[in-house]
Structure 1
Amino acid sequence: MSLSSPSIAFQLLKVSAITSTILLFCCGMPICHGIYRGDTLGTVKGAAPFLVTALSTSFILQYGILKNDKVVVVVNVVGATLQLSYLIFYYAFTKGRMEKRRMRHIMMGEALFFALVEYLIHFGELLHPESFLGTICVILNVSSIASPLASLKEVIGSKDSSSLPLPLCSANFFVSLQWFIYGYIIGDHIIYTPNMLGVLLGMFQLTLIRIYPSKEISSSESKSSLII
């Protein structure tokens, strides 16, 4: 019984990591719905997270295929499909010729970069294609994880965590923690290194939310107390 317990726990970890990550990828749906309703405008700046995530999930998918890691493959098949769908939707609803042109050029640049890396992996006679692709995955993941650092500086300066949504920060922390544990168990530093940074960033974000409560929440609470 004791021998099977770790195996059961690991299987549960894989299922939980897959499910929670796919749910996190679905966070783009409300954004696209808001654009469809006309609440927000599609812009290159707004599409930036989708541009980065679409590229990173596509590369991580290829890494999972090379490593024959079914967990990584399943998650990133769904992730890449969703992110590419968001990008197409964003492009379709982007207003202005210049904005559309900028977004089209960025998407074409990403496609060419992806094609070049794929060519080098399969036909470039690299000695260690997995390490080469893994390094690119780590760089993209770290870049994506580090992107909120600018907003953290604003939070500290204003002492207001309104720009840090607690549910999303908690979800990012939870997902990063699961992938860190998964990567550590299988001994894959390409997986656990960026997610270790994700865990640390998530802890920092949650700490800031605790230290600097959202002024919007504080304001609404004071209003409700006045009404009562």
Structure 2
Amino acid sequence: MVPDAFKDLLATSASIFTILQFLAGTLVCRKFVTNRTTGESSGLAFITCLMSCSFWLRYGQLKDDSYVIMVNAFGTFLQFCYIIVFTLYSVRKTLILKQFLVAVLFIIIIYSYSIIETDKELVKRQIGFLSCGLTILFFASPLTMLLHVIREKNTDSLPFPVILASFTVSSQWFIYGTIIDDQFIKVPNLIGCLLSLFQLSLFFRYRTKTLSETHLI
């Protein structure tokens, strides 16, 4: 039996690190404001994260988990702010607005269904699967980049601090999900943890190889 004090400490730590991870988006938006354009950047990452946070927020409400609610309420608010900034400086305002409206419509439909449906356990499972699926897709997004890294045997295109933060956050939420026996929290974060660990191993593998080649020269 895990003490409640440890569980709360772990959840608090995971929440803080997740919020810090969400705040990394401010650096991206600051670049947009400085350049007064988003250039060729896509706002889809912000929109996907908005949907993910919104569904996890609803899942936390149905499960009555204050940590999941707090983190994702903050994340949802931040993503709205990021999308507003992105839209203001976007060179393709019509596209980002269409994507945003479709996302908001989908969120409204899911929330409305979760309120109308009387079987709350069924709703919790369905939204849990939806949230879990979106999180897995988010964690799987770097796979194309990984193929490039492995092919080129160079990790310059991988952001080490972001990957390390992702590993830390995923590990904490995985342990928390294991403690409270929640498969929807546990499974996607286990995948995120393993994927982040694999990316971190590439830094060691190719850095070692680069150093060896340098010494040979």
Q: Same fold (TM over 0.5)?
A: yes
> Which residue pairs with 2:142 in the alignment?
148
**Counterpart secondary structure, 1:21:** helix
Is the alpha carbon distance of 1:41 and 1:214 closer, same or farther for their aligned partners in structure 2, counting shifts above 3 Å?
farther
Secondary structure at the aligned position of 1:181 is classed as helix
Structure 2 match to 1:198: 192
- Structure 1, residues 71-99: CA drift from partner, whole Å, max 9, x if none? 0001111111111110111001112xxx1
Aligned residue for 1:132?
126
Q: Are the counterparts in 1 of residues 15 and 67 from structure 2 also a CA contact under 8 Å?
A: yes
Q: Residue 11 of structure 1: CA displacement?
A: 2.1
Q: Given that residues 120 and 126 in structure 1 are in contact (C-alpha distance below 8 angstroms), is that contact kept between their aligned partners in structure 2? A: no
Highest relative contact order (Cα 8 Å, sep 6+), 1 or 2? 2
**Percent same amino acid at aligned positions?**
35
The residue that corresponds to 2:6 in the other structure is: 9
* Cα RMSD for the two superposed structures: 2.2
Asked if 1 retains the 8 angstrom alpha-carbon contact of 2:173 and 2:189, the reply is: yes
Q: Is the 8 A contact 1:42 1:90 kept in 2?
A: no
Alignment correspondent of 1:178? 172
2:107 aligned residue = 114
Deviation of 1:49 (Å): 1.5
Partner of residue 93, structure 2: 100
Deviation at 1:42, TM superposition (A): 4.8
* Normalised TM-score (structure 1): 0.86
Q: 1:89 and 1:126 mapped to 2: Cα distance?
A: 39
Give 1:49-128 correspondences, 5 Å limit: 49-95=45-91, 99-126=92-119, 128=122
Cα deviation for residue 63 of structure 1 reads 0.5
The 1:84–1:12 alpha-carbon spacing in structure 2 relative to 1, beyond 3 Å, is same
Q: Is the 8 A contact 1:162 1:214 kept in 2?
A: no
Q: Quick one: distance in 1 between partners of 2:149 and 2:166?
A: 18
C-alpha displacement at 1:6, in angstroms? 2.9
CA separation of 1:102 and 1:40: change in aligned 2, threshold 3 A: closer
C-alpha offsets along residues 106-164 of structure 1, whole Å, 9 cap, x if unaligned? 11110111111112211144561100111110110011010000100000011110111
Question: Helix, strand or coil: the match of 1:138?
Answer: helix
Please list every run of 5 or more consecutive structure 1 residues that lacks an aligned counterpart in the other structure: 223-228
> Quick one: distance in 2 between partners of 1:152 and 1:168?
14
In the TM superposition, residue 214 of structure 1 has moved relative to its aligned partner by: 10
Query: 1:13, CA displacement in angstroms?
Result: 0.6
Contact 1:57 1:76 in 2 (8 A): yes
| Correspondence for 1:225 | none
Q: Which moved more, 1:34-43 or 1:107-116?
A: 34-43
TM-score (norm 2): 0.91
Map Cα deviations across residues 153-193 of structure 1 (whole Å, 9 max, x no partner): 00001111011111111000000000000011001111011
Query: Is 1:32 aligned to 2:25, yes or no?
Result: no
Please give the secondary structure, in 2, of the residue aligned with 1:213: helix
Paired residues for 1:206-225 under 5 Å: 206-213=200-207
In 2, Cα distance between the equivalents of 1:212 and 1:27? 26
The count of corresponding residues between Structure 1 and Structure 2 is 211
